[in-house]
Structure 1
Amino acid sequence: MRSAPRAAWAASLCAVLGWLHFCLGVGTTDLVVTVVAHVCVLPMLAARFDRRLLPSFGCALCGVCVGFNLVDLCFDRLIVLNRAVPDGTGHGGHGSLTPRHVAWFYYTTMLNSSHINLTLLVYVLVSSIGSMMGLMDGCATVRNYWLAMCSVAAVGNTFYVSYVVPRYVTIRASTTFSPTDFDNWEGVFFARIFLIGALLTCIYLSFALNLTQSSAPAVAGARKVTDRSDVAAPLKQS
């Protein structure tokens, strides 16, 4: 049962490293971040790992990603509404920066931050490999929850990868500001809102799955007590 997730882990490591090195031509730092992220998720592939913990891990990481996207949404809103930002240099209170320039400062810093990229990659690995593990184990009810989370995450991530990631790749590699990098940013804005909704839905499903898994032993125990009482009743009567 563990062979498929382990194979997926190895395939992911090779694929991401190959994509970063041969397609994007990134530096050593990004390659190290990729390896560290994959090492971080290795414990959940161990034979003794309790898979009932996966929803808790996923819920926490989804919460972190919601926070990331809410911050990004502030800058997306600046771009879409075309609101200038005071530059803080005075000039009689009239000095300002264009919203696209402010967003460029933010996104070039954020997208090149190792700890941000590490966290996002760990989220991707836990959500993908963890979902595979969840679908392979458990009762039908548990698998249905995992199937629902996979479906919601797949739709949200598809919009994000289609509209946001290509723009990020361009901005991340830029060394000089170009306002055209932020043209038609409305698609990014709405894709991010959709992704936040998908992440919040996954958080709700994770909570529901946790409650289902935590109540299962109690139900089983109650059945055992009932069975014993049924057996004991005739003995008392006799």
Structure 2
Amino acid sequence: MKTIKTRSQTKKLAQELATALARPVQTCTLLTVLPLEMRYMIFEHIFAEEAKPKLPHPLMQTCKQLEEEATDAAARILGTKVHFTLKLNNTRRTSWSIRHTFRFRQPEKKEARASPLFTLGRGRTQWRVFRQSSIGKQMMARTKQISIHWLTPSAGFIIDFRVDSPPEIAVYKHWKKPDLRSHVSVDEAYRMMDATAIRWSTRKADCSVKWVDEFVNDLRASWIKLRTEAKGKDSRVRD
């Protein structure tokens, strides 16, 4: 194989891979014989220059070596451009389901939306699998902004992670009427959300799967406590 020295040659090879990716074995052989530096140049072209990079990329489904290298490259190159949205569904009493989607913020390019990286049947997103995956952990550790949308009471948080200070947490609220099932009033829910935002915005932290899990668990515990207290008040009123 000829030595590839220029970026244009690397770009040409990356474009040729688009058709070769339909044959995983050939793709793996074609890339693994190249120097690591050259492979990362190809990954950079794929993930940094494509307007809508596909994830998981077909490169991650060729062989174990390219899966690990492409995952690391995608997380490193795309991590700071990704805005994650997590949707919390608390309709169940004992457990909440969490779905995730993400989109890319790219300068001078139209924002590209992407599907969840891991899905279940009926279009549901499996956060539980994503959070345990290599690309999930790496991308969450690099992202600078996430949104957590709470389906009931239709409100949420926009969280900006900063380098030298605690995250900035904004609360948005669309709840217009109380949830009759929970017995919690709108004002009580808003106060609880504001208190959660204040409590977590005093702690310096980077984004991570662990941080998101702890934030959601804290929110869930606060909601359960608030709902229990509200139901207790209603019971005393009826008595």
Settle same-fold status: TM greater than 0.5: no
* TM-score, normalization by structure 2: 0.29
Larger Rg computed on CA atoms: 1
* TM-score, normalization by structure 1: 0.29
More strand by share: 2
More helix by share: 1
Structure with the bigger RCO (C-alpha within 8 Å, sep 6+) is: 1
